[in-house]
Each structure stands twice: as C-alpha cells, then as structure tokens.
Amino acid sequence: MLAHVRIDLTVNGERREGVLRGGESLLTFLRDTLELPGSKNACEQGECGSCSVLLDGTLVCSCLVLAAQAEGHDVVTVEGLARDGALHPVQQAFVDAGAVQCGFCTPGLVVAVVDLLERMPHPSDDQIREALSGNLCRCTGYAKIFDAVRLAAGRA
C-alpha cells in the first residue's frame, strides 16, 4: 500500500471515501478530510473523550483509532444523531438540563450518553458516573450532565 490511501467507510449512514495519510487518526480524518468537526480534539490521546464516536456501535475515542482501521466499518459521530431537523433525545436533554457551557466536551458526552442509554435505558447514578468517567468536562462539574442523562432516560 502507498503512504496515501483511499478508504471507504460508512459515516452517519452514508458511504464516504477519502484519502488519508498512513498514521492518521480517525479523528483527524473525520475533522479535516470528511469535514465533520463535531468530534473534538481536546487531548488527542484518549484522556478526555471529546472525540468519542461509535465504531460499529461501540463507543471509542476516534483519536485512538487508526483511520485506516475504519475502512469498511460503520462510524456514527455527533453529527449523525439529529434526525429530520429534530434533536436526538439525548441532545435535547443536554439543552434542557443546562448541561452545556463551553460545549467543547459536549459532542463526546452526547455520544457517550447515547451509547449508555442504548445499553442501559435506566442507569443508576453510579452507572451514569462510571459510564461518563472517560469524558472530561472542565466547565460544569458534571452535575447538570448527570441531570441530562436522567432526563433523557426518564423521557424514553
């Protein structure tokens, strides 16, 4: 294979393709090549969760996935959650609960909560805290984020 390779993958339900550099992360590929900057670049080493996406339905840090590894796989980013102009219930709950301040952690947290509620529709407080322990937030102190999770779970 050459240093620059073209890959095909499914992103937010659509077939996408793009040329990547060999060592490039899925995060930079999503942001720079596919022009999906919703996944964020706060640490780029898996310590903050701001780049969280679903890879074949599994929550991962896209900064730690080699972009080439995503070839032929299915990726869902924060941009793929709203449907027909309506927010995803988790997104709506983040808005309503005041869970957003600067918002840099928000896309990753929204994806992580979507994943949590898929696996556990009615998580306990401890389950919420553990499930979100990989998503750093510097603004909110997390309280309103927990409120958002409970709100979304309660509305489902």
Partner 1 sequence: MEVFRPSTLDEALRLRAEHPQARPIQGGTDVMVELTFGDARPEALLDLSELAELRGFAEEDGLLRLGAGLTYTEAMQTPLASRLPALAEASRTVGSPQIRNRGTIGGNLGTASPAGDALPPLLAERAEVELASARGTRTMPLAEFLLGVKRTALAPGELVTAVRVRPCEGPQTFAKVGQRNAMVIAICSLAVVVDAEAGEVRAAFGSSAVTARCVVVPLAEAAELPERVVEAASPIDDVRATAAYRRHALRVLAARTLERCLRT
Partner 2 sequence: MSATTERPRLAVGRIGERLPREDAVPKVTGEFSYASDLSTPGMLWGDTLRSPHAHARVVSIDVTAALGLPGIHGALTHEDVPGKKLYGLEFADQPVLAIDRVRYVGEPVALVVAEHPEQARRALEAIVVEYEPLEPVVDMERALEQEPLHPDRPTMGHGYRDDRRPNVVRHLVIRHGDPDIAGDVVVTGTYELGIQDQAFLGPESGLAIPDGEGGVDIHVATQWLHVDRDQVAPCLDLRPEQVRLHLSGVGGSFGGREDLSMQIHSALLALHTGRPVKMVYDRAESFTGHVHRHPARIRCEHRATRDGRLTSVRMQILLDGGAYASSSTAVASNAASFGLGPYRVDNALIETTAVYTNNPPCGAMRGFGAVQTCFAAEAQMDQLAAELGLDPVELRLLNALEPGDSLPTGQVIEGSLPTREVIRRAAALPVPDQETLPRDPLRLPGGTGNTTTGEGIRRGVGFALGFKNICYSEGFDDFCAARVVLHADGSAVVHSAAAEVGQGVVGVMLQVARTELGTDEVTLAPHTTATVGSAGSTSASRMTWMAAGAVRDACRAALEERERRGGGEVDVERVHRHPRTTPLDPETGQITGERAHVALAVAAMRVVVEVDVELGLTRVVWVGTAQDVGKAVNPLALEGQIEGGTAQGLGLALMEEIVTRNGAIQNASFTDYLIPTALDMPPVEIELVEVPEPDAPYGVKGVGEPPTVVSTAAIVSAMRAATGRPLTRAPVRPDDICL
For residue 130, how many other CB atoms are within 10 A of its CB?
12
Specify whether the CB–CB gap between 121 and 68 falls below 8 A: no
In the complex with partner 1, the residue whose CB is nearer, 57 or 98, is 57
29 binds partner 2 (CB under 8 A): no
Specify whether the CB–CB gap between 25 and 67 falls below 8 A: yes
Please state the closest distance from residue 35 (CB atom) to partner 1, in A: 20
Specify whether the CB–CB gap between 108 and 50 falls below 8 A: yes
Distance CA 156, CA 152 (A): 6
Characterize 79-112 residue by residue with b for buried, 16 or more Cβ atoms within 10 angstroms of its Cβ, and e for exposed. bbbeeeeeebbbbbbbeebebbeeebbbbbbbbb
Q: Per-residue x/- mask for partner 2, residues 62 to 91, rule CB under 8 A?
A: ---------------xxx-xxx--xxxxxx
Binder of residue 71, out of partner 1, partner 2, none (CB less than 5 to 8 A by kind): partner 1
Which residues here bind partner 1, judged by CB under 8 A? Answer: 1-3, 5, 21-23, 25, 44-47, 49, 52, 58-61, 63-66, 68-69, 71, 112, 130-131, 133-135
Please state the closest distance from residue 126 (CB atom) to partner 1, in A: 12
Under the rule (CB under 8 A), what is the footprint of partner 2?
21, 31-32, 35-45, 47-48, 50, 77-79, 81-83, 86-92, 94-96, 98, 100-107, 110, 114, 117-118, 121, 126, 128-130, 132-146, 152, 155-156
